[in-house]
Amino acid sequence: MPVRVLPEEVANQIAAGEVVERPASVVKELVENALDAGATEIRVELLDGGRRFIQVSDNGSGMSPEDALLAIRRHATSKLQSAEDLLHIQTLGFRGEALPSIASVSKFELITRTADALEGTRILIEGGKLIAHGPIGCPVGTQVTVRSLFYNVPARLKFLKAVSTELTHVVQQVQWAALTHPSVRFILDHQRRTLLDVPGTSDRLERIRFLYGKEFASHLIPFVRAFETLQIEGYVGDPDLTKPNRSFQFYFVNGRPVRDRTLAGAVSQALENLVPKGRHPVVFLFLTLPPEEVDVNVHPAKAEVRFRSERAIFRAVVQAIGQGIGSAAYIPEVRSAPEEAEPPPEPSMPKQQDYPTMDSVPVVPPARVRYSPQERPSKARAQSHPRPIQTERPSIGRRGPFVGDSERLRVRPSVGEEPVPPFGAQLRSASDRRDDLCHLHPRRRRLRPVLYRSARSLGACALRAHLSTDERRRGGGPGAVDTVDSGAVGGSV
């Protein structure tokens, strides 16, 4: 098969495969261009996590019509003049591949204007082909809109993740850019709702507080260490702020977020004896060193760097972290159990004489007892009597306390009521008298006599009324209890 030169459109799509991996890659490249243009406010707007719509607006220096047309061509940049400039790169972007790569896999629109121009420039590209170019009214700065990302590359489109996943990656890119440039205001909108709005500030710790919360920032230990050609600014989480993975370890070199094993290893060695096993510290590390000491052109997405002297960087980071946590007393907080409040004092029990006892308050006989015709009360009299006496239920055993036990039972009449006098039913004597047949019903909070059947005769039943000790000895008196003939009562009681 003969060798041929690929068309420019195909070459741009191949380059886009290295530069543009997902919507977050588009946001990263456009935000870096805005920062290189000197913007002080950057707004990012998304729809469907960036799959359908991405727009990045800034108030930077903008571009002239001629520069705008050159910017969409491959390997066109204003940041390099010769090969020697690669050793002194101080900008975030320098290759000139971002805009043409993005335009080749989307519907791309560029609107820009400089401060000294009366009108701006609008360029519309679809799938790498120039569709429209002309003047337009717009504010100073640049606005780039990307619609239908990967619409002409189905193989790349089907590998995009869910909207929430893509949005998470975009948020991370905006947060990293906000950390490296605290003086710039960043606004992130998704589905026309604002997710991030961090104002510019001169304090980096204040920017961390805006992005990750006040409580999170309160557990960070700041430190600054300056060496001969290296300056390290960092923030390390105290022992109470650890994570199960390294997702909260951020490294920035000359304002560029990077992944580097040298820095990660230095952090692990500096804190290996202070962080529990299976946990990882929270670290924000910002390194500033001469551009010739670091190579940023070793990764297609510029996500990795290579140091000229890795061992010196390793030792400097370990020393800086060690001195920073040493001066701040890196000691975990010991939280003791909260002191329990003293329980309120229990109310004092009333004295014994405050309540009438069984010796002073008679018991109401049950309605089921058969009275003699002479002693049965009239209906009018029965209706005039108040309701039975209310009692407090004491703690009772299996059979309960006996009514005659005045030492264990206290009876209190209802409020505003007088004690009920006995009906005075005189029952016949029983040959088998039982003195302890009446007690509190275990399931009711009122004094209720309960009739127990004799073990020898199920038909014999008796009710004990109040009878003082002297009357029981004499066997008579006003409260004497006569027996009920078992044949007369039978099992109907």
* pLDDT tens digits along 152-202: 888 888 889 999 999 999 999 999 999 999 999 999 999 999 999 999 999
pLDDT digit string (tens) for 102-124? 999 999 999 999 999 999 999 99
Give the tens place of pLDDT for each residue, 463-481: 444 444 445 555 544 444 4
The mean pLDDT value of the chain amounts to 75
The single residue listed with the structure tokens 């490249």 is: 29
pLDDT at res. 484: 41
Phi-psi region of 8 (alpha: psi -120 to 50; beta: other; left: phi over 0): alpha
Q: State yes or no: pLDDT of 67 exceeds 60.
A: yes
H helix or E strand, kind and range, residue 28: helix 23-36
Domains located in the chain, CATH noted: 1-201 (3.30.565.10), 219-332 (3.30.230.10), 350-493 (no CATH)
Lowest mean pLDDT among 130-139, 207-216, 330-339: 330-339
Measured on CA atoms in the order 245, 208, 260, 313, is the torsion positive or negative?
A: negative
Q: How confident is residue 491, by pLDDT bands cut at 50, 70 and 90? A: very low
Query: 356 vs 261, which has greater pLDDT?
Result: 261
| pLDDT score for 91 | 77
Cα gap 187→55, rounded to integer Å: 12
Q: What phi and psi values does residue 375 have, to the nearest 5 degrees?
A: -100, -5
Question: What is the structure's pLDDT at 402?
Answer: 43
Rounded CA gap, 61 and 3, in Å? 43
Alpha helices in 121-253 (DSSP H): 154-157, 163-180, 204-212, 214-218
Alpha-carbon distance 466 to 480, whole Å? 8
Residue 354 class from Cβ within 10 Å (0-12 exposed, 13-18 middle, 19+ buried)? exposed
| Beta carbons within 8 Å of 89's beta carbon, 6+ residues apart | 79, 80, 291, 296, 297
| pLDDT given for residue 264 in this prediction | 92
Whether 233 shows a pLDDT value over 60: the answer reads: yes
Residue 432 scores a pLDDT above 50: no
The pLDDT-based confidence of 416 (bands split at 50, 70, 90) is low
Q: What is the pLDDT of residue 2?
A: 72
What's the rounded mean pLDDT across residues 122-140? 93
